[in-house]
């Protein structure tokens, strides 16, 4: 087993336990042992950086310092918000010796900067062969890969591929047997932490994301962020209200898609915890091109209601 430090953060042990469960379910077959960072603390997402700059660096720096005690050089950080704070701190402390010394003084422990934070997509991309060979039940669905804000921004720190039109998650899901659709809302904001304070706004923003995925024929939206999942799944009532439609498309984690392709059970992957039932609709039918003359001759009144799997252009 290859050992890697693991920082679950608050969400994966609380509102997004299915993310933690599905990650652990695939980690073993992939040959990885997750070493949870001892005595870990909150990373400060999503408010510390708006309140106190030193606090926003000290909180993740302490986590990074603790991970160095595990004797590894990489730390898996599945939560996109946690990853953003940790990779930013890792970057900023490497850029300024003065800042690093000040933060070391605050946290009261050694910090060398030897452990690099990895988001879930970086980790899976590096070790794609470890799960590709385990695919026994291809996940043959059409999916919309939703990256959200924090995995790709800011580009100078995350160094993500094609920040406006990323491909990493698309490539990963296609290894499971799925088809990653070309769609328009890959990196648009779902409303993030406004989920509690401005739920109607989250419903409005997320309705555009869900609506576009459905319009493009997706049978599922695949995510790699617990906040994105929470907004698109738990806030579905607000999404449907804003859209004036009843969207039932499921939202699943990339780890769950891989787990399904590995033949793992829905229970082991945490599907019963979802608010929107994980039931994949049939693939949307592709309309055949009809010549204008034929179309005019066969013209008929439009149906009164649209199905979920079609949208007006």
Task: For residue range 228-238, list pLDDT tens digits in order.
Answer: 999 999 999 99
CB 207 within 8 A of CB 128: no
Find the mean pLDDT for residues 250-279.
98
**Which pLDDT does position 310 carry in this prediction?**
44
Task: Record the pTM.
Answer: 0.89
Q: How many residues does the chain have?
A: 313
Residue 311: pLDDT over 50: no
CB 212 within 8 A of CB 183: yes
Closest CA to 62 of 13, 7, 11, 17: 7
Closest CA to 30 of 152, 162, 132, 117: 132
Residue 294: pLDDT over 50: no
Q: Which of the four pLDDT bands, split at 50, 70 and 90, describes residue 285?
A: low
Name the residue with tokens 């720190």.
157
Closest CA to 203 of 232, 226, 227, 229: 232
Q: Which of the four pLDDT bands, split at 50, 70 and 90, describes residue 77?
A: very high
**Which pLDDT does position 306 carry in this prediction?**
45
Residue 276: pLDDT over 70: yes
Across 80-89, 142-151, 297-306, least confident range: 297-306
**Which pLDDT does position 170 carry in this prediction?**
98
**Which pLDDT does position 308 carry in this prediction?**
53
- Which residues, in sequence order, are CB contacts of 190 under 8 Å at separation 6+? 148, 202, 205, 206, 209, 227, 228, 231, 232
Instruction: Please tell me which residue, 163 or 301, carries the higher pLDDT value.
Output: 163
pLDDT in tens, 171-201: 999 999 999 999 999 999 999 777 877 899 9
Find the mean pLDDT for residues 265-272.
98
């Amino acid at each position: 087993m290859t050992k890697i430090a693991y920082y679950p953060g608050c969400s994966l042990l609380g509102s997004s336990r299915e993310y933690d469960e599905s990650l652990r379910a695939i980690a073993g077959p992939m040959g990885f042992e997750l070493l949870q960072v001892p005595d870990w603390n909150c990373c400060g997402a999503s408010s510390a950086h708006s309140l106190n700059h030193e606090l926003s660096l000290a909180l993740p720096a302490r986590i990074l310092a603790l991970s160095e005690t595990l004797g590894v050089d990489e730390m898996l950080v599945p939560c996109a918000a946690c990853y953003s704070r940790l990779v930013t701190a890792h970057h900023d402390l490497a850029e300024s010796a003065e800042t690093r010394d000040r933060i070391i003084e605050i946290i009261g422990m050694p910090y060398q900067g030897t452990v690099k934070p990895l988001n879930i997509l970086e980790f899976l991309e590096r070790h794609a062969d470890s799960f590709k060979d385990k695919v026994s039940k291809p996940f043959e669905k059409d999916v919309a890969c939703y990256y959200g804000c924090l995995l790709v921004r800011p580009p100078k720190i995350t160094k993500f591929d094609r920040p406006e039109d990323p491909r990493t998650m698309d490539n990963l899901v296609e290894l499971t047997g799925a088809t990653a659709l070309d769609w328009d809302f890959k990196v648009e904001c779902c409303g993030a932490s406004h989920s509690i304070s401005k739920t109607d706004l989250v419903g409005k923003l997320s309705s555009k994301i869900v609506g576009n995925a459905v319009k493009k024929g997706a049978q599922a939206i695949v995510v790699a962020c617990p906040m994105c999942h929470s907004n698109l799944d738990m806030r579905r009532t607000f999404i449907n209200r804003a859209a004036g439609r009843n969207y039932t498309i499921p939202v699943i984690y990339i780890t769950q898609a891989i787990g399904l392709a590995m033949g793992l059970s829905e229970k082991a992957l945490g599907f019963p915890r979802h608010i929107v039932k994980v039931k994949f609709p049939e693939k949307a039918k592709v309309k055949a091109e009809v010549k204008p003359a034929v179309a005019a001759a066969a013209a008929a009144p439009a149906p009164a209601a649209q199905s979920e799997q079609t949208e007006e252009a």
